[in-house]
Amino acid sequence: MKHGVSPKNWTIISPMGQDASTRSYARVEKSGRAAILMDCSLDERLDHGLDDYIRIAEWLNDIGLRAPEIYEREKNYLIIEDFGNISFKKAMEKNGPDEIYALAADVLAYLREQKNLPSMPFYYDSNVHKTHRRVIDWYVPTIKRRKNPDGLAEEYLSIWAEIEKNAPTRTDNFVHADYHVENLMFLPGEKGLKRCGILDFQDALLGSGLYDLGNLLEDVRIDVPPAIRQKYTPEDPAYRILATQFHCRVVGQFIRMAAKDYKTGYLQYIPRTQAYIRAALQDPILKPLKNFFDKNGITFDAKPDLTDIRSLVRPDAV
């Protein structure tokens, strides 16, 4: 991890590595004060990512939630509040899942109540929505072992467009866009919703908060207890649409990250993601999508083969 000497006068105590982006982190200290250094010097979204992070952090804190306080900014670096080491995932090991998921769900419900939202891209105009086609662009070549034929991605997108038209979703909620138990920190010294420290929100969107609920309840990183999923999963068809678009995005994105960025650690989550897609395709709202996958022999039970994957991916893949 390359931090150099910026920001000035802070001493790096321990590197914390990277997340799925090009950002990297380290614990730092100055004059006895601990903090987190967020290094965005390699971030492709540097033109607006840091500004978004700062203003959304301020908004979250203004409405009574807990985002890290911003201590300093220097060019491509931020010094932010250290929320400690107790992620929601770790907190569950001590407190059990009921309290932790209840808190996470309550925060989402509170966010859905907010009216005066910061300026954010619309979900349907965003890269997050556009890239749900990665199941076609990157996943399909690994199981078919050949390049996709002309028109396959376009047919897939047209089917989704029809599904979305028949079951429109809200576009007026705050959407974190990466809401899961490793991006939420448990702050036992706080009270109420402030016990949830929110991280990694710089890509927030304007859309339906059910997208975040799908991220939480159908977490690709861990097995969510069935009773928890049953308790919080709504009957709204928008939930199934948004959660499945998320899975269609990441099942291809994990392969793309391995092929292009040599980040292979996320491949371990593909079997769980496949299982979510298989289950989702039994929902009547997604019958056109299931028919498309069946017609084209696209299954979600095979192990992807990444051998020479770059040569099998079309140049128009996203």
CATH code, domain carrying 206: 3.90.1200.10
pLDDT at residue 168, rounded to an integer: 86
What does the alpha-carbon distance between residue 116 and residue 174 come to, in Å, rounded to a whole number? 10
Higher pLDDT, 318 or 18: 318
Do 174 and 65 share a structural domain? no
State the pLDDT at residue 13: 83
- In the 3-class helix/strand/coil scheme, how is 4-70 assigned residue by residue? CCCCCCCEEEEEEEECCCCCEEEEEEECCEEEEEEECCCCCCCCCHHHHHHHHHHHHHHCCCECCCE
Residues 46 and 98 in one domain: no
Same domain, 140 and 180: yes
Mean pLDDT of the chain: 92
CA distances from 62 to 66, 67, 189, 245 (A): 9, 10, 19, 31
Backbone angles phi, psi at 245, to 5 degrees: -60, -40
Q: Residue 209 in contact with residue 174, Cβ under 8 Å?
A: yes
Of 60, 80, 100, which marks where a domain is finished? Answer: 80
Residue 268 lies in a domain: yes
Classify residue 318: in a domain, yes or no.
no
Predicted pLDDT at 50: 85
Q: How many domains does the chain have?
A: 2
Q: Which residue has the tokens 């975040």?
A: 212
CATH of the domain at 24: 3.30.200.20
Report pLDDT digits (tens) over 281-307: 999 999 999 999 999 999 999 999 999
Q: Determine, yes or no, domain membership for 20.
A: yes
Same domain, 124 and 163: yes
Q: Residue 169 domain-assigned?
A: yes
Q: Which of 33, 50, 80 is the last residue of a domain?
A: 80
Longest CA pairwise span in the chain (Å): 64
Q: Is the pLDDT of residue 129 over 50?
A: yes
**Residue 4 falls inside a structural domain:** no
Average pLDDT over residues 111-140: 97
Percent of the chain whose pLDDT exceeds 90: 81
One domain for residues 66 and 194? no
Domain boundary among 80, 106, 139: 80
Which of 27-41, 181-195, 232-246 is predicted least confidently?
A: 27-41
Query: CA-CA distance, 66 to 81, in Å (whole number)?
Result: 11
- The number of C-alpha atoms within 13 Å of 267 and in the hemisphere containing its C-beta is 17
Give pLDDT, residue 209.
Answer: 96
Asked whether residue 154 falls in the same domain as residue 283, the answer is: yes
* H or E element, residue 239: helix 237-261
Exposure of 42 in the CB half-sphere (CA atoms within 13 A): 13
Q: What would the pLDDT profile of 202-217 be if each residue is shown by its tens digit?
A: 999 999 999 999 999 9
Dihedral sign from CA coordinates of 110, 116, 120, 123 = positive
Cα separation, 10 vs 169, in Å, equals: 45
* pLDDT for residue 46: 43
Q: Are 99 and 185 in contact (CB under 8 A)?
A: no
Q: Residue 54 and residue 77: Cα distance in Å, rounded?
A: 12
* Banded pLDDT at 40 (limits 50, 70, 90): confident
- The amino acid that residue 129 corresponds to is H
Please give the pLDDT value at position 42.
66
pLDDT at 3: 40
- The answer to whether residue 27 scores a pLDDT higher than 50 is yes
Structure tokens at 210: 């059910």
Label residue 228 by pLDDT band (50, 70, 90).
very high
Do 187 and 60 belong to one domain? no
Residue 275's φ and ψ, nearest 5 degrees, are -65, -40
Residues 297 and 159 in one domain: yes
In this predicted model, what pLDDT tens digit does every residue of 42-52 receive, in sequence order?
A: 665 544 478 88
Choice among 8-12, 166-170, 265-269, 276-280 with the minimum mean pLDDT: 8-12
Q: Which residues pair with 73 in a beta bridge?
A: 78
143 and 309 Cβ atoms separated by less than 8 Å: no
Distance CA 78, CA 73 (A): 5
246 and 207 housed in the same domain: yes
Q: Are residues 194 and 76 in the same domain?
A: no
Question: What is the distance between the alpha carbons of residues 202 and 49, in angstroms, rounded to a whole number?
Answer: 6
Q: What percent of the chain has pLDDT over 70?
A: 93
Is there a single domain that holds both residue 64 and residue 197? no
Query: Does one domain contain both 220 and 275?
Result: yes
Is 138 among the domain residues?
yes
Q: Give the domain extent around 35.
A: 11-80
6 domain residue, yes or no = no
Identify whether 75 is part of a domain: yes
| Angle value at C-alpha 146, between 301 and 135, nearest 5 degrees | 50
pLDDT digits (tens, 9 = 90+) for 165-197: 988 888 999 999 999 999 999 999 999 999 999
